[in-house]
Structure 1
Amino acid sequence: MPRWEISIQEYRGNMTIVHKSGNIHKNADGLMRWALANTPENPAWVPQEEHHIEVICVTDIGTEFFNQVKESYKMDKKYHILCQLLMKDFKDPSL
C-alpha cells in the first residue's frame, strides 16, 4: 500500500484507499505486485546471458535532413492546425 500512496498522492482528497484482504478481494491482478528480480531465489527464475555494452554510437542529424523534415511539417495542413490550437489559450472545456 505505501508504494501506491506515493504514486497517487497528487489525487489526495479525491479518493480513499481501502485495504481488502486477499480472502475478500479475489480478483487482484499482477499489476498490484512488484515484479521479482530474475535471480535464483525467484521460483520463476530464467537464466540469461549477460550482454555488456561495448560501444555507444552517437550520431548527429545533418542540417540538410533536419531542414527537409522541418519544411515537410510546414506543408502539412493538419500539423499547421494542431500548432494553431496548441498556441491559443482555449477556455472551452469541450476541447
Structure 2
Amino acid sequence: MVANVAEYCKTCDRFQKANKSTGKRLGNMIKIQEPNRPWEIFHMDSVTGLPPGGDRSYNAWLVFVVRFSKTPIFLPCHKDDTAMDTALLIWNRVLSWSGIFTNIISD
C-alpha cells in the first residue's frame, strides 16, 4: 500500500506542482580545513536575549571557539553593538594575545 501511494505521488502532476519548495535553495556544503596550529581558525557566534548584567549592563555574549583546541572565549557585549564595536572588541580582547588568525567561521 505504501509503495503504491509513493508511486502515485511521483507520477501525479498536481501533487508535484503543489509540493515544490518555495524557500531559498541551499548552497553546497564546503569542507572546513583543519587548522595546523592554535589560534589559526576561530568559530564565532553571539548569544543574545540575556538579562542586563555587570557594570555596563551587558546583555549578550560574543563566543569564540578556537578550532584547534576547542577552547572557548566568552566576551560580554551588547545586543545592539555595531560591526565596528565588534571589530574593536575582537581587536582589543582576542588579537592582543592570540595574534592574527586566518579564518573566522560564523553563521
TM over 0.5: no
TM-score range, shorter chain: under 0.3
Higher relative contact order (CA 8 A, sep 6+): 2
Larger radius of gyration: 1
Q: Which has the higher helix share?
A: 1
Q: Which has the higher strand share?
A: 2
TM-score under structure 2 length normalisation: 0.18
